[in-house]
Structure 1
Amino acid sequence: MSTLIVQLPAQPRLAAQQAEPATLGEPADVAFAFSADGSHVTRQGRAAVAELPQAQQVVAVLAPADVGWHHAMLPKAPASRMRQALAGVLEEALLEDESELHLALAPGASAGSLGWIAALNKPWLAGQLARLEASGLTVDRVVPAWVPEGPPAGHVYEDDKGLQLAWRDEQGPLCLPLDSPATRALLARQPADVSIAWSASPGGAAEAARLAGAPVASQSDTEFLQQAARSGWNLRQFDLAAQRRGQRAFNEALANALHDPSWRWVRGGLVLLLVLQLVGANVWAWQQRSALAQRKQAMNTLLQTTFPQVRGVIDAPLQMQKEIDLLRTASGKPGDGDLETLMYAAQAAWPASRGPANGLQFENGRLTLESPGWSPPETETFRNQLLAMGLDAETSANGPIVTRAKPGSRPPASAGGVTGATGTAGARPGGATGAAGGSPGLPPGAAPNAQRPAGVGESGPMQMRQPVGMLPQPGGKPAGPVMRPMGGPEPKPGDDEDEE
């Protein structure tokens, strides 16, 4: 991931009352270091803010003297109120107005424990961030150049005021002019057995060697910036926190996955997996098409073998059903949607709490029974019984409408005892057994009243609004089966002879 490290100019200490702090001491250019992979510097030097290279991550480094440090017990407060709680803890230690200060916690700081708190001028820092972001850069982190963690150390560097000493010991960090009584007093009271890690910028290496009593390797400005950027600090907290952190984190993770060399095996594996998925999907689709074609050919062969008179096959299942219906009609057997089947099933499923129906209508496989005022339990029981026979019931204002069940309809688990008109009946009292081929019939030797639900046909016969006409035979007999009203009495042997 490409990284741009920018050295922010030192905060001005003079003329603070005559000018806005955010605009003081802004040089025409700033020091920077650019790394294409986040590890090795590929560009460095000084450039105007508008000419800085674009990078996926931007880190701004503060001068050592621009940050003040306080070691205190961190308050136990929620994240939304932590800023105000910190101001209350440091109220007596702050030299400036609390609203003019920006406070930040150390990495991993936890409430209720001792921790370091960074304090710096808020208007000046906000102005520097606005200056960088106005050029199109998004500053992800702001880090201090000199941090309180670590063993005792001293760093000699040079700024526009001369040589400075950045010092760190168990008391914390501080910055002092190198040639000052405070610096000499600080170094004089250091125990002789304490080991101090010395470092210096190129301009301060000689003075650092004099203070250390041994040669000190100089550290370039770029190395100093890299060392600061590697710390875990980020002073962009509370009201100066970077916006859209989640999106930037996602972009950084995506950039790492796409460009980081350590992710090359993952990228290769994903590409291979995608290729295998595409190949596998095409192979599976070819197999499915082949199996579908074989099944279609088998259906066509079955149709033409069973019904040789069918020449052209357009829709094998539909054509086979039509041929079966023709054979059934020619043999005189009722179908699943014929009047006899629907009437027989309605009689078998008729609730015991209902009286006889007032009338019926039949049209296109729909049998309407005129019996208004059904309660929900009666309707549910009636429908469950019909579903077990392969039929269904719709609710209407006049009464239930019996039709063939739609594909996918299933009787409830509790609905038992009655099967379809072509099957056998269960243990329900008065259950009926259909004749072969689905035509209705009564069990041999059964009494008439045992074959109908209680209340059906007891107070009067069911009337037909559209009587079914039948062709008479010689002698006055009907050509088809003798129809009787639902719930009416069974015909007695010899009734036909009497009519003749």
Structure 2
Amino acid sequence: MLILTPSAFSLASAGTPSAALDWASSPNGQQLDDQGTCAPGLLPADQDVVLVLPPLAVSWHRVDLPKVPANRLRAVLDGLLEEQLLNDCADLHFALPPGARSGQTVWVAACHKAWLRGWLQTLEEAGHPASRIVPSLWPLAPAGAEPSSEPGVTHWAHLQSGQPWLASASELGVCCVPLSSAADPTALLQPASTESAAPARWMSEPGTAAQAEEIMDQRFELVAQTDWLLRCAQSTWNLAQFDLRLSTSARRGQRWRQVWRDWRSAPAWRTARWGLGALVAVQLLGVNAAAWQERRTLAHKQAAVQQTLKQAFPNVGLVLDAPMQMQRELTQLQQAGGHLAMHDLEAMLSALALAGAEQPLVVEKIRYDGKTAYFDAGASADAQWPALQEPLQRGGWKVLREASELGLTPDQP
């Protein structure tokens, strides 16, 4: 995952090939492995690019979402927000929060369309098209939720275009003001009821922490910009809606990458990952145990065959191929006792004579190579071979047919 945000914010200068971007990369969406600042053309390659909009780039407006068809929702938002906006609605891009449904009171994000399109086009031309667009800060109330009695407040002191700013978010919205002692930057976000103070979290980039603590008389938690960018990318927000909506295939790929990152690294899936790992380990152990048992059984059988060979033929010293050596020793004993071995030509002639007892075969030529005998019956071969093949195979012979020749060899060596 590659997370980007413009180093400087100005509506007068949208994204250009030479504009600087602060970036951070994460292999799993949970931890960072690299960071930097560079032009769009020098960014590291990544399939999942998340563009984080600065707090100054997004305004927030609370509306009651009516029940209308999806293709008319943008026009309806124009009518609902027309009175709240200083700019023409046609010049702005709108986005709804995750999970927004008709009938709910929701926060609508608005940003300058030409500025956003400029950055998206610059990233696409540089070979890094954005797969998601997320805000740096957003109202803390979920879509459709009623404000609680003690709304939480998040404050973030940061540098924007070289100047210190304090961005604050609560259930009452988001504001971003210069960090100075001239006014209380948090006044706009205090709840209407003063019966209980709102629990707040104060965070700051290291470069603005000292100034923020002096002005606000408040202890700030140090949060690097890259960690803040990762926090934004981990949210479920995606401002790429309406005319900036991604293609179906891009959204599908984005969802699959998000599912894979969550499965691989999210704490919620840790138990499932351990379970799958344990299951794979058990399977591997079982396969290895079965293979070891098979090898052990095979070794016992081979040892038994070798022992049988040595007991039957004590003169055999080194056992290399027990079945072959046993056959050779048996053949030698048969020859020594005047018995025919299966490889002897006489045995093959006898088998051929028995198979053709009813219709004797007239052999014109015989070839014998010590293991296989070839009998050439000439023109009568086609008529006689089929009748000979079955009785020869029953007698333990392997029958080979080559043109007018019939080859015989023992079925077992």
TM-score (norm 1): 0.48
Matching of residue 313 in structure 1 with residue 314 in structure 2: no
Deviation at 1:22, TM superposition (A): 3.5
Tell me the SS of whatever aligns to 1:183.
coil
Number of residue pairs aligned between Structure 1 and Structure 2: 278
Aligned to 1:65: 56
Q: Residues 363-418 of structure 1: CA distance to partner in whole angstroms, max 9, x if unpaired?
A: xxxxxxxxxxxxxxxxxxxxxxxxxxxxxxxxxxxxxxxxxxxxxxxxxxxxxxxx
Deviation at 1:211, TM superposition (A): 5.2
Matching of residue 206 in structure 1 with residue 210 in structure 2: yes
* Residue 199 to residue 36, structure 1, CA distance change in 2 (3 Å): same
Tell me the SS of whatever aligns to 2:124.
helix
Aligned to 1:168: 169
* Residue 98 to residue 29, structure 1, CA distance change in 2 (3 Å): same
The separation in 2 between residues aligned to 1:249 and 1:220, in whole angstroms, is 26
Paired letter, 1:164: W
Instruction: Flag the structure with higher strand content.
Output: 2
Query: What are the equivalent positions in structure 2 for 1:228-243 lying under 5 Å apart?
Result: 228-243=232-247
Q: Residues 60-84 of structure 1: CA distance to partner in whole angstroms, max 9, x if unpaired?
A: 1110111010111112122222211
Q: Is the 8 A contact 1:104 1:235 kept in 2?
A: yes
* Residue 188 to residue 182, structure 1, CA distance change in 2 (3 Å): farther
Query: What are the equivalent positions in structure 2 for 1:24-63 lying under 5 Å apart?
Result: 28-63=19-54
Q: Which has the larger radius of gyration?
A: 1
Aligned to 1:245: 250
The separation in 2 between residues aligned to 1:182 and 1:163, in whole angstroms, is 14
Q: Residues 256-280 of structure 1: CA distance to partner in whole angstroms, max 9, x if unpaired?
A: 69988959859969x98xx9xxxxx
Paired letter, 2:241: Q
The separation in 1 between residues aligned to 2:154 and 2:123, in whole angstroms, is 32
Q: Is the 8 A contact 1:148 1:168 kept in 2?
A: yes
Q: Residues 165-192 of structure 1: CA distance to partner in whole angstroms, max 9, x if unpaired?
A: 1122332111111227553581796747
Paired letter, 1:204: T
The separation in 1 between residues aligned to 2:78 and 2:278, in whole angstroms, is 47
Tell me the SS of whatever aligns to 1:136.
coil
Deviation at 1:111, TM superposition (A): 1.1
The one of the two structures with greater contact order (alpha-carbon pairs below 8 A, sep at least 6) is: 2
Tell me the SS of whatever aligns to 1:112.
coil
* Residue 184 to residue 126, structure 1, CA distance change in 2 (3 Å): closer
Q: Is the 8 A contact 2:29 2:261 kept in 1?
A: no
TM-score (norm 2): 0.58
Tell me the SS of whatever aligns to 1:120.
strand
CA RMSD of aligned residues (A): 4.0
Q: Is the 8 A contact 1:9 1:63 kept in 2?
A: no
Aligned to 1:105: 96
- Percent of aligned positions that are identical: 34
Aligned to 2:222: 218
Tell me the SS of whatever aligns to 2:33.
strand
Q: Residues 116-171 of structure 1: CA distance to partner in whole angstroms, max 9, x if unpaired?
A: 10000011101101111111112111110011115212221122262211122332
Deviation at 1:55, TM superposition (A): 1.4
Aligned to 2:122: 131
The separation in 1 between residues aligned to 2:258 and 2:155, in whole angstroms, is 37
The separation in 1 between residues aligned to 2:222 and 2:186, in whole angstroms, is 25
* Residue 133 to residue 251, structure 1, CA distance change in 2 (3 Å): farther
Q: Residues 76-128 of structure 1: CA distance to partner in whole angstroms, max 9, x if unpaired?
A: 12222221121122121121112111000000000121111000001110110
The separation in 1 between residues aligned to 2:14 and 2:198, in whole angstroms, is 41
The separation in 1 between residues aligned to 2:215 and 2:256, in whole angstroms, is 47
Alignment gaps of 5+ in structure 2 = 142-151, 288-354, 360-382, 390-413
Q: Residues 269-315 of structure 1: CA distance to partner in whole angstroms, max 9, x if unpaired?
A: 9x98xx9xxxxxxxxxxxxxxxxxxxxxxxxxxxxx9xx7784439x
